[in-house]
Amino acid sequence: MEKNPKKRMARVLDRLFELYPEVESALVTADPYQKLVATILSAQCTDERVNQVTPALFARFPDARALAAAEVEALERLIHSTGFYHAKARHLLGASARLVEHHGGEIPADMEALLALPGVARKTANCVLNDCFGIASGIVVDTHVARLARRLGFTGADKGRAEIIERDLMAVVPKKDWITVSHRLIAHGRAVCTARRPACAACPLCDLCPSAGHPDA
C-alpha cells in the first residue's frame, strides 16, 4: 500500500471519480437561502427527511425576510420531524434575522459572515460556499466523510472533531477537489462503506484502505 498520504489520496480520488463521475448534494435546494436552511435542518437528520420537510417550509417562508417574521410555533410544526426542532427553529429565526439586518436578506458569499449566523458552523458554511458559489472554502465533513476519512487512514480524529478532520483532509486533497471530494465520499459511504456493514470485499478502494476487512479496528 502507498505510504505517502498525498499519493494515496490521489489514487483514492481517481477511483472515486471513476465510481461517481457525476455528483451533487443530496439536499434538494434552488438557491443559497434554501441551501442554508436545509443544511441547518440536516443536523442529526437524514437528507431524505429534510427533503420531505423543505417544500412546505419554503412555500410558507420563501426567503430570509419571510422566515425572520415567522412565528416560532408555526416554524416548529413544519420542521418537527427533523428532530431537535426547538433548537433548529431558534437557529433559523436568529440566522434569518441577522441576514435581514446585516445583509439585506441575502446570503453572503463569505465564510466569516456565514459563521456569524446562529446555527452555522464550518460544515454549513462550506456547503453554501461550495455548492452555491463555487468557492472552495474547505471540505464539508458530515458523518459519512468523517467515517471514511478515519477508515482510509487520513485522520485519527473521531467523528466529533469535524474541524480537525477537515484540516487533515485539506492537507492531502488538492484544492481543486475540495468541493467534489465530500460528495464522492458521501456517495461511497452510502453505497459501499456503510457505518454498520461495510462491503470491504467488494470495495474498489480495498487495496488503498488500511481498515479493509476490519473497519472498526
**Among all residues, which ones are annotated catalytic?**
123, 142
Angle subtended by helix axes 143-151 and 178-191, to nearest 10: 90
Q: Is residue 168 a contact partner of residue 154, using CB atoms and an 8 Å limit? A: yes
C-alpha distances in Å from residue 34, one per residue of 137, 182, 197? 19, 20, 33
Maximum distance among all Cα pairs of the chain, rounded to whole angstroms: 57
C-alpha cell at 216: 472498526
Q: What is the phi-psi region of residue 129: left when phi exceeds 0, alpha when psi lies from -120 to 50, beta otherwise?
A: alpha
C-alpha distances in Å from residue 148, one per residue of 60, 79, 205? 37, 29, 11
